């Protein structure tokens, strides 16, 4: 009888220890690292600087508006759609100094914006390979004066025309610390029927942003 009582007492003493060990195991499971995509999710803000070229590369005529440095910004919100995948909307607005003049009449870029879907695939602990596809709109301003020899008159113009199209870009992002990141990006867009031309905009640039 004493042996049975002793065995039961020892078993009872061991049960809390086993329970604590199991609780510890579950606690360990709860402390597993979050998927890499979670670190790249949330709202983000970034400033951009880039080099761009705007022109109409048709087969029979090539009209180059010009190339120059520009700058802008982007806001986006990414959702973790898998262990290594993020998806979300983005909005970009850019301005540049592209301009083409003929005597006193100048055609210049007056702003560009794009909105669409941003998709990213995490690489390593801090990297992200991303692509963007969306709708874009380019604004061009025609400003200045020109002389019409047929009518023997000088006309003064100050007008802006807008044309819509598509925007596509891809690049690489690298994170710094908990919230900051840097990006390298290559993009192309085409916006139709601007003063009779379909202007293609190609650019390459860098960005710095923060994510929350």
157-172 pLDDT per residue, tens: 899 999 999 999 999 9
Dihedrals phi, psi of 8, to nearest 5 degrees: -65, -40
Q: What is the pTM of this model?
A: 0.79
53-84 pLDDT per residue, tens: 999 877 566 678 899 999 999 999 999 999 99
- Band the pLDDT of 24: cuts 50, 70, 90: very low
- Band the pLDDT of 33: cuts 50, 70, 90: low
């Amino acid at each position: 009888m004493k042996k049975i009582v002793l065995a039961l007492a020892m078993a009872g003493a061991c049960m809390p220890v086993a329970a604590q060990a199991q609780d510890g195991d579950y606690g360990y499971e709860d402390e597993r690292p979050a998927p890499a995509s979670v670190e790249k999710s949330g709202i983000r803000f970034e400033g951009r600087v880039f080099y761009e070229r705007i022109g109409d590369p048709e087969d029979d005529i090539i009209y180059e508006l010009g190339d120059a440095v520009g700058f802008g910004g982007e806001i986006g919100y990414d959702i973790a759609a898998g262990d290594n995948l993020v998806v979300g909307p983005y909005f970009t607005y850019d301005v540049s100094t592209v301009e083409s003049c003929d005597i006193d009449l100048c055609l210049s870029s007056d702003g560009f914006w794009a909105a669409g879907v941003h998709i990213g695939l995490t690489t390593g602990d801090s990297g992200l390979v991303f692509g963007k596809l969306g709708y874009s709109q380019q604004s061009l301003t025609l400003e200045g004066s020109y002389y019409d020899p047929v009518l023997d008159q000088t006309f003064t113009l100050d007008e802006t025309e807008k044309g819509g199209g598509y925007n596509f870009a891809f690049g690489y992002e690298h994170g710094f610390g908990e919230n900051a990141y840097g990006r390298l990006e290559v993009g192309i867009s085409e916006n139709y029927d601007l003063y009779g031309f379909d202007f293609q905009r190609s650019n390459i640039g860098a960005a710095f942003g923060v994510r929350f």
